[in-house]
Amino acid sequence: MVAGRPRALDLDTALPVTLRLFWERGYSGQTLDQLAAELGVTKPTLCRTLGDKDAIFVAALDEYHQTYIAPAEDYLAQADTLREGLQGFFAVFVARIVDDDLPPGCFMGDTAAATGFDAGSIAETLQTLLGRLASIVHQHIETAIDNGELTSTASSLPVLQFVLGQNSALSAISRSDPTQTQLDDVIEYMLNGLPWAGADSTPPG
């Protein structure tokens, strides 16, 4: 009797599942045997298609970026003003937070905060993806200072650190199961905290 060919791995289906499992369980909490079983393939098929555990985790990080970070970057790229861009930028993260089908927190941020990723492909991928995000935000902040949307006395790097810090804060808030209204108010407070030229930083009603 001739054995059947091992089931191939469908990446369009496998990568979202892989992301979710690593997001829920973390790097150390997810074994390749468990992952292969969840995907319905053999471990050799999994590794032959995606590589070792580090390579598979990198693929999960890339999937997270493409699904949840790239749309936020696109909002900034397409917006006419920094405020409009940041409203869309934060709205993408809020949509992720209020989605009950997704794990809490930020997969990229949680990975960056974890110990054990100081070198290697995972650390390099994090540096690339987080650096890309910071560069895009920084570019739009500098444009806003140059065109007078932000006050001319503003320094772009502290503003960048503030914006990225607020994004991290949203991820932390997500663990307390906030409502959409609460998150919208938080975003408004965040935006009012920026040095807009001639702005009246009125708290949301």
Q: CB neighbours (10 Å) of residue 12?
A: 6
Q: For residue 116, tell me if it sits in a domain.
A: yes
Q: For residue 39, tell me if it sits in a domain.
A: no
Average pLDDT, the chain: 89
Q: For residue 135, tell me if it sits in a domain.
A: yes
Q: For residue 97, tell me if it sits in a domain.
A: yes
Domain with 188 in it: 58-192
Q: For residue 71, tell me if it sits in a domain.
A: yes
Q: For residue 16, tell me if it sits in a domain.
A: no
Q: For residue 127, tell me if it sits in a domain.
A: yes
Q: Which whole number is the average pLDDT over 54-80? A: 94
| Cβ(60)–Cβ(81) below 8 Å | no
Confidence of residue 196 (pLDDT cuts 50, 70, 90): very high
Q: What is the CATH number of the domain that holds 123?
A: 1.10.357.10
Q: For residue 41, tell me if it sits in a domain.
A: no
This model's pTM is above 0.85:
yes
In the chain, the number of structural domains is 1
